[in-house]
């Protein structure tokens, strides 16, 4: 047992000794055409002249002349300094101080560091030959293919072929210029990684982010933290954007905003597919279309929003499933909607309902005509119906095959009904209900005041009866196809995201 313990002690002792021996730095080896010892320099030094060469831990160092200090295992090299390591890194300069114990090479004046795919130039550079890391604290310029980079501070990891740049980083390419606070650049893959505010400025594009990466060869990028991409037609921003500069294709995630200043349009959503070159976009997840008007804006929400150009290049918007609309003076719901800049008409499909002031408007199909970014006309086709609530139990009603509503200053002031016009209209005298008018006419014209019927013209084959309130036939007070849908009405622009049972179905 004692012998076994002694054996274990001996083994671990030898291992510790070998580790200590491995940690002892090797002496720098040197050769030259001429060598002499000078005791007056730094406690004694060897002076080497012409074809000077140092070898240490796999690194080769060349110069015209040098001083080697054997006591400190260090050297000073002068003129045409060249360091080569593993054929992957070549470092040049006018002066070198090298410490063989730390393996730190300090190169000064006219410094050039050449890697596999890059060349760095600066006035001062320190290189750790043990870790294969070079670093500078003054300005440096780097060339990698067509990319020209510069910064005040930086690190170069030769094995990983990776540069770390800090402070006033600039990357110039024939197609753009990049400015960044902190940037990592992989010379093997040509990928730049951003850390901090970064701008990429081209002839017709602008990119901003505070985190992400950019491939300088393929011009593909992932932009994060306040990401923004802008060209002559659109501005896109979001929490993160994948973007291909050549094709214009992009995909956005979370809080996406697309701004078209020319068309006064804003699109929002949490997931977007974009092609700037083709002027196309698709948004889902809380998608919103905002049409900017002088007084206030027109908001449209749908499960999916799609914008694309027509054959003539005009902008189209398609919104489908659970469409909800809000404007301060107009609200609506429908299944799907279409808009084109050709005629500035919003088209609502499948059970559309609109509210203008106190009026509820329904038909099988509705068109909202705009002019100068204001509502001009409202066209309701097939089973058009307008309802206005008089009180909790009474409703003014207008029914016909089709209707056109006319707006003045965004207020509905006149309605023209075509075909089978029917009305239930409660008459007032000094603001008191005095009766109900049940009337029919092939065509009707209704003038509104304060969002309620004020005057009705029965144009073709009119007939009607004015009943006292208590004598009116109850079965005729509600017209066929009547429905009161106020519960569906969006109350504000945030309410367009509310899901109701009817819209969900």
CA–CA separation, 136 vs 109, rounded Å?
12
Confidence band of 24 (pLDDT split at 50, 70, 90): low
> Tens digits of per-residue pLDDT, 67-112?
999 889 999 999 999 999 877 789 999 999 999 999 999 999 999 9
Residue 4: per-residue pLDDT: 37
> Tens digits of per-residue pLDDT, 39-66?
766 667 889 999 999 999 889 999 999 9
Q: Taking residues 331-335, report their average pLDDT.
A: 94
pLDDT at residue 466 greater than cutoff 50:
yes
Q: Is residue 504 part of a domain?
A: no
Residue 18: per-residue pLDDT: 40
- How many Cα atoms within 13 Å fall on the side-chain side of residue 448? 23
pLDDT at residue 11 greater than cutoff 50:
no
Q: Taking residues 243-259, report their average pLDDT.
A: 90
Q: Taking residues 461-480, report their average pLDDT.
A: 87
What percentage of the chain has pLDDT greater than the value 90? Answer: 48
Confidence band of 5 (pLDDT split at 50, 70, 90): very low
**Could you tell me the CATH number of the domain that includes residue 415?**
2.60.450.10
Q: Taking residues 400-421, report their average pLDDT.
A: 88
The 3-state secondary structure of 265-323, one letter per residue: EEEEEEEEEEECCCCEEEEEEEEEEEEECCCCEEEEEEEEEEEEECCCCCEEEEEEEEE
CA–CA separation, 177 vs 203, rounded Å?
10
Per-residue exposure over 109-145, b if at least 16 CB sit within 10 Å of its own CB, e if not = eebebbbeebebbbebbebbbeebbbbbeebbebbbe
Q: Is residue 333 part of a domain?
A: yes
What's the token pair of residue 278?
A: 């083709």
CA–CA separation, 61 vs 393, rounded Å?
100
Give the Cβ contact number of residue 447 at 10 Å: 13
Residue 74: per-residue pLDDT: 93
Q: Which residue has the higher pLDDT, 333 or 85?
A: 333
Confidence band of 425 (pLDDT split at 50, 70, 90): confident
Average pLDDT, the chain: 86
pLDDT at residue 502 greater than cutoff 60:
no
> Tens digits of per-residue pLDDT, 135-147?
998 899 999 888 8
CA–CA separation, 249 vs 242, rounded Å?
8
pLDDT at residue 17 greater than cutoff 50:
no
Q: Is residue 335 part of a domain?
A: yes
Residue 449: per-residue pLDDT: 82
3-state secondary structure of 33: coil
* Residues 6/11/13/16 CA torsion (nearest 10 deg): -160
Residue 22: per-residue pLDDT: 44
Per-range mean pLDDT, top range of 56-70, 367-381, 423-437: 56-70
Residues 365, 354: contact at Cβ < 8 Å?
A: no
Which of 339, 367, 167, 375 lies closest to 265, judged by CA? 339
Q: Taking residues 207-235, report their average pLDDT.
A: 89
Per-residue exposure over 420-436, b if at least 16 CB sit within 10 Å of its own CB, e if not = bbbbbbbeeeeeeeebb
Residues 275, 248: contact at Cβ < 8 Å?
A: yes
Number of domains in the chain: 1
Q: Is residue 128 part of a domain?
A: no
Q: Is residue 132 part of a domain?
A: no
Q: Which residue has the higher pLDDT, 131 or 10?
A: 131
Residues 343, 376: contact at Cβ < 8 Å?
A: no
Q: Taking residues 250-277, report their average pLDDT.
A: 89
CA distances for 51 relative to 81, 97, 170, angstroms: 11, 17, 39
Q: Is residue 368 part of a domain?
A: yes
> Tens digits of per-residue pLDDT, 112-128?
998 877 899 999 999 99
Q: Taking residues 433-449, report their average pLDDT.
A: 86
Host domain of residue 350: 321-494
CA–CA separation, 424 vs 476, rounded Å?
8
Q: Is residue 287 part of a domain?
A: no
Q: Which residue has the higher pLDDT, 6 or 77?
A: 77
pLDDT at residue 20 greater than cutoff 70:
no
Confidence band of 494 (pLDDT split at 50, 70, 90): very high
Confidence band of 490 (pLDDT split at 50, 70, 90): very high
CA–CA separation, 183 vs 195, rounded Å?
6
pLDDT at residue 347 greater than cutoff 70:
yes
Q: Is residue 374 part of a domain?
A: yes
pLDDT at residue 318 greater than cutoff 90:
yes
Confidence band of 443 (pLDDT split at 50, 70, 90): confident
Distance of CA 134 to the CA centre of its chain: 35
CA–CA separation, 132 vs 98, rounded Å?
14
| Residue with token string 């070159």 | 277
Q: Taking residues 166-187, report their average pLDDT.
A: 89
Residue 9: per-residue pLDDT: 35
CA–CA separation, 132 vs 129, rounded Å?
5
pLDDT at residue 471 greater than cutoff 80:
yes
Residues 253, 269: contact at Cβ < 8 Å?
A: no
Residue 224: per-residue pLDDT: 93
């Amino acid at each position: 047992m004692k012998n076994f313990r002694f054996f274990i002690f001996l083994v671990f002792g030898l291992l510790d000794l070998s580790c200590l021996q491995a940690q002892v730095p090797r002496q720098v080896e040197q050769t030259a055409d001429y060598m002499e010892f000078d005791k007056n320099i730094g406690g004694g030094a060897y002076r080497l002249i012409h074809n000077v060469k140092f070898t240490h831990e796999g690194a080769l160092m060349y110069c015209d002349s040098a001083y080697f200090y054997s006591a400190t295992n260090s050297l000073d090299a002068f003129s045409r300094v060249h360091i080569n390591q593993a054929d992957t890194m070549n470092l040049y300069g006018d002066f070198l101080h090298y410490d063989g114990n730390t393996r730190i090479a300090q190169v000064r004046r006219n410094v050039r560091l050449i890697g596999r795919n890059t060349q760095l130039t600066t006035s001062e550079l320190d290189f750790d030959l043990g870790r294969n890391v070079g670093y500078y604290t003054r300005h440096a310029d780097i060339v990698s293919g067509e990319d020209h980079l510069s910064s005040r501070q930086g690190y170069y990891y030769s094995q990983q072929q990776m540069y770390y740049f800090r402070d006033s980083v600039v990357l110039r390419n024939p197609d753009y210029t990049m400015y960044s606070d902190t940037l990592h650049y992989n010379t093997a893959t040509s990928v730049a990684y951003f850390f901090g505010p970064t701008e990429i400025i081209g002839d017709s594009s602008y990119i901003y982010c505070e985190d992400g990466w950019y491939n300088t060869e393929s011009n593909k990028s992932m932009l994060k933290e306040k990401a923004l991409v802008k060209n002559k037609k659109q501005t896109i921003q979001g929490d993160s954007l994948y973007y291909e500069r050549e094709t214009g294709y992009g995909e956005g995630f979370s809080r996406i905003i697309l701004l078209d200043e020319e068309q006064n349009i804003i699109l929002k959503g949490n997931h977007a597919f974009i092609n700037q070159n083709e002027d196309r976009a698709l948004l889902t997840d809380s998608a919103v279309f905002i049409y900017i008007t002088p007084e206030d804006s027109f908001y449209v929400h749908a499960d999916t929003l799609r914008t694309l150009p027509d054959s003539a290049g005009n902008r189209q918007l398609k919104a489908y499933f659970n469409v909800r609309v809000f404007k301060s003076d107009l609200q609506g719901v429908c299944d799907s909607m279409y808009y084109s800049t050709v005629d500035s008409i919003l088209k609502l499909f499948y059970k559309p309902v609109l509210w203008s002031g106190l009026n509820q408007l329904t038909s099988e199909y509705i068109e909202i005509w705009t002019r100068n970014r204001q509502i001009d006309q409202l066209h309701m086709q097939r089973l058009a119906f307008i309802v206005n609530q008089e009180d909790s139990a009474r409703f003014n009603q207008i029914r016909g095959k089709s209707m056109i509503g006319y707006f003045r200053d965004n207020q509905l002031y006149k309605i023209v009904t075509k075909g089978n016009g029917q009305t239930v209209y409660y008459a007032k005298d000094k603001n008191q209900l005095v009766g109900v008018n049940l009337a029919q006419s092939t065509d009707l014209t209704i003038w509104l005041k304060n969002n309620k019927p004020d005057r009705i013209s029965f144009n073709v084959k009119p007939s009607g009866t004015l009943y006292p309130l208590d004598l009116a036939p109850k079965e005729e007070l509600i017209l066929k196809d009547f429905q009161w849908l106020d519960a569906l009405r969006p109350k504000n622009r945030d309410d367009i995201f509310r899901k109701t049972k009817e819209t969900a179905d």
